[in-house]
Structure 1
Amino acid sequence: MTLPDDDLLTERGLAPAGRGRVLLIACGALAREILLLKARGGWEHLDLTCLPAILHNHPEKITAAVRAAVEKHRQAYRAIYVAYADCGTGGQLQAACAALGVEMVAGPHCYSFFEGNQRFAEHGESEITAFYLTDFLARQFDAFVWTPLGLDRHPELAAMYFGNYDKLVYLAQTEDAALTAKAQDCARRLGLDFERRLTGYGDLAGFVERAARA
């Protein structure tokens, strides 16, 4: 399965949108996981459109982009769900979704809901010096972390950017030895200790099922 990671994505090969269908508006970083959950559940009536994952580097733009997507698609769907957590919007996305009457994923960010918000909260304060990766970020580390921070040109700056971190925690959605190796290499490049936790899809799985059964 090959999906664009940084462009607007609408799943192809679906029946035309209609009032009996449900739409998920998601961060592009979740496209692969949502499509796998959709296929596992056999939810052919569930459509997916994704906003560019790179918006996470500009969280001030997320709320307006989600609002525009909801307004664009509202008349074509029986229900719309938003597969974003707060994602650095400082509560603005939650307020916008409440005003629009659409449900979003609970939690501060995808690291939390992948591990499970309750479990993540239980150890969150003890891990303030942890840098997290998901499957998506392990794949896209250079595009979303290394290059935007200028580390491709000045790798010596990693010590300055990540000097307050002591470990990289890879929250793995899947059992994938190649991705684990990539995540380990990311930790090495950042000069951090490495830890891997298999989380699966966490709270995202329940959210997608709730949308599918709406």
Structure 2
Amino acid sequence: MPPGGNGRVLVVACGALAREILAVTRQRGLGHLDVTCLPAILHNRPEKIPAAVEAAVTERGGDYTSVFVAYADCGTGGALAATCARLGVSMIEGPHCYSFFEGNAAFAAHGEGTAFYLTDFLARQFDAFVWRPLGLDRHPELLPMYFGNYETLVHQVQAEDPDTEARARRAAELLGLRYEKRFTGYGELETALAAL
């Protein structure tokens, strides 16, 4: 992909990160970044993420000095990293957003196999991205099958907001999990964007 000469950076992002990316770009004065978001619902079919990212980079990337992909692996099993390498674009480090929000090293050190994670986005969109797609609104008897091995719902807070926290607490209650709140801020997403 030949780089454009306009000095601008295209950020191809997961739609679940749109609010956070826009907040970071405003706070850090990163006016040279242009953001295009792909549908967050792609996370329900992660095998489709690499092709969607490639299409966005191919369609728009040639007009930019560089392209950055604001996705971690996100369940693609390394396919997204391979696609980015082939296209010559960089991407955020880590297995998923729960890891880079907390910090990849800190997240790995926790080793929390019994924790279910919600970012602010997922707390706000819990019904649309978890409850209804898993059929729990129609078949609550499936709850132990999906969440029986979890003990805690960890709400990774990017920005303090009482409504978002109330939604995360409601999700924990619906799932029958202990609620834990961790303020992460924007974590390594902010670091990665600031470096652009």
Q: Which category describes the TM-score, using the shorter chain as reference length? A: over 0.9
Structure 1 CA distance for aligned equivalents of residues 12 and 129 of structure 2: 21
Q: Which amino acid is 1:134 matched to?
A: T
| CA displacement at 1:20 relative to structure 2 | 2.2
User: Matches of residues 134-153 of structure 1 in structure 2 within 5 Å?
Assistant: 134-153=119-138
Q: Secondary structure at the match of 2:116?
A: strand
1:112 to 88, 93, 99: 99
Q: Deviations over 1:121-165 (max 9, x none)?
A: 1112xx101100000000000000000001111223212210111
Moved more, 96-105 or 154-163: 154-163
Any gaps of 5 or more consecutive residues in structure 1? 1-16
Structure 2 CA distance for aligned equivalents of residues 161 and 47 of structure 1: 38
1:192 to 177, 182, 187: 177
Structure 1 CA distance for aligned equivalents of residues 154 and 27 of structure 2: 27
Q: Does 1:169 align with 2:154?
A: yes
The alignment covers a number of residue pairs equal to: 193
Contact 1:159 1:191 in 2 (8 A): no
Which residue matches 2:168? 183
Q: Secondary structure at the match of 1:89?
A: coil
Q: Does 1:40 align with 2:27?
A: yes
Q: Does 1:72 align with 2:59?
A: yes
Structure 2 CA distance for aligned equivalents of residues 100 and 178 of structure 1: 40
Contact 1:171 1:198 in 2 (8 A): yes
TM-score, length basis structure 2: 0.95
Structure 2 CA distance for aligned equivalents of residues 95 and 138 of structure 1: 31
Structure 2 CA distance for aligned equivalents of residues 178 and 143 of structure 1: 17
Structure 2 CA distance for aligned equivalents of residues 41 and 196 of structure 1: 25
Structure 1 CA distance for aligned equivalents of residues 160 and 129 of structure 2: 22
TM-score, length basis structure 1: 0.88
Identity of aligned residues (%): 65
User: Matches of residues 117-136 of structure 1 in structure 2 within 5 Å?
Assistant: 117-124=104-111, 127-136=112-121
Which runs of 4 or more aligned residues in structure 1 lie more than 4 Å from their structure 2 counterparts after TM superposition? none
Any gaps of 5 or more consecutive residues in structure 2? none
Contact 1:167 1:195 in 2 (8 A): yes
Q: Secondary structure at the match of 1:88?
A: coil
| CA displacement at 1:43 relative to structure 2 | 1.9
Q: Which amino acid is 2:158 matched to?
A: Q
